[in-house]
Structure 1
Amino acid sequence: MNPEFSRRLALAHVPAEGVAMRLEAAASDREALSRRLGLLALHVLQADLRLIPDEEGAILVTGRLTAELEQECGVTLVPVHQSVAEEVAWRLLPEGVEPSDGEDDPDDIESEQGVADLGEALAQQLSLAIDPYPRAPGAALPEGVDDRETHGPFAALLKLRRP
């Protein structure tokens, strides 16, 4: 896969005292990402990050991702604006370091040959932060329709329910 918003970082190039950086997606990156994520538009995607090496050779990354985007309303199909602001907490792992699976641990991002892709990690975090069922203000399903009852894996079983 060739990521739309690739920002590769060699872990060995992060200084011992750490470094701050801002990643910002260019218009072509945002356009490609909006197609991948099924968005009408991705107006802004940026992150302010702080990278600090730890004693295991991993890089601790903290910061904030922000995005401005438009999606289609799930009911009316009109554009719905969404602002995203997410805290970033990652651990970039050098090869040979096992990911941790603690609930409160930062997300582990494995590197290939000592290089991690911060842009792709941001794109994946954005994909998880986007509202999966956007609705325009005032948009509602027609009277008597409950989308929880009529859709999903158990919808057919609901029809068999006895009154």
Structure 2
Amino acid sequence: MTPEFSRIERLDTIGGEDRPVTVSADEAERAALARRFGLIAVDRLEADFAIRREAGGIAARGRVRAAVVQACAVTGAPLPAAVDEPVDLRFVEPARAGEEELELAGDALDTIEIEGGGIDLGEAAAETMALALDPFPRSPDAAAVLKQAGVLSEEEAGAFGALAGLKAKLEGKA
């Protein structure tokens, strides 16, 4: 399946020196990405990369910028959100049967397997955008709406919140 926002850079065009690549999603691609990631809208998605061949794969470093509209997790109200994320990726050949897998340190680059004869910088930008977004965005009035619905806040529901409720009951009976 081809991703909604695909920008393939062929492996045979990537050398040992940094090559700048800019990708930008058009209106139809942004609408499809909004559906895929459950967003109200993706108003802008673009990325600037410097790509180069390195030992062990292809490095892609740069920045992803986006403007999206998410739905408040409580009220459903539209919430604008901005993404401005640094990117440091390594595209690697898939491990073949019998080959030893590489163990990466915790601070290693994010790795993506190379599929076919190229790397997909559009999909890398789209995934970076999605991962940078708040998974449970809340509008300024979300706490009031939850309280009105009888949902306890974290402080009220925690251990000390229960003790405060018990204390209030005991004081009321004294």
Q: Distance in 2 between matches of 1:46 and 1:129?
A: 14
Q: Distance in 2 between matches of 1:23 and 1:99?
A: 30
Two-structure CA RMSD over aligned residues (Å): 2.2
| SS at structure 2 position matched to 1:71 | strand
Report if aligned partners of 1:100, 1:108 keep a CA contact under 8 Å in 2: no
Q: Distance in 1 between matches of 2:103 and 2:117?
A: 18
Q: Distance in 2 between matches of 1:33 and 1:147?
A: 33
- Matched with 1:142 is 147
| SS at structure 2 position matched to 1:6 | coil
Query: Deviations 1:36-71 (Å, cap 9, x if unpaired)?
Result: 001000001011111121133x11111111110001
5+ residue gaps in structure 1?
150-162
Report if aligned partners of 1:94, 1:114 keep a CA contact under 8 Å in 2: no
Report if aligned partners of 2:147, 2:153 keep a CA contact under 8 Å in 1: no
Q: How does 1:80-91 map to 2 (within 5 A)?
A: 80-91=79-90
Q: How many residues align?
A: 149
Q: Identity rate of aligned residues, in percent?
A: 40
- Matched with 2:28 is 28
Counting helix residues as a fraction of each chain, which structure ranks higher? 2
Q: Distance in 2 between matches of 1:45 and 1:131?
A: 16
- Matched with 1:158 is none
TM-score by length of 1: 0.81
Letter paired with 1:7: R
Measured after TM superposition, the shift of residue 99 of structure 1 is 5.4
Q: Where does structure 1 differ by over 3 angstroms across 4 or more consecutive aligned residues? A: 94-100, 146-149
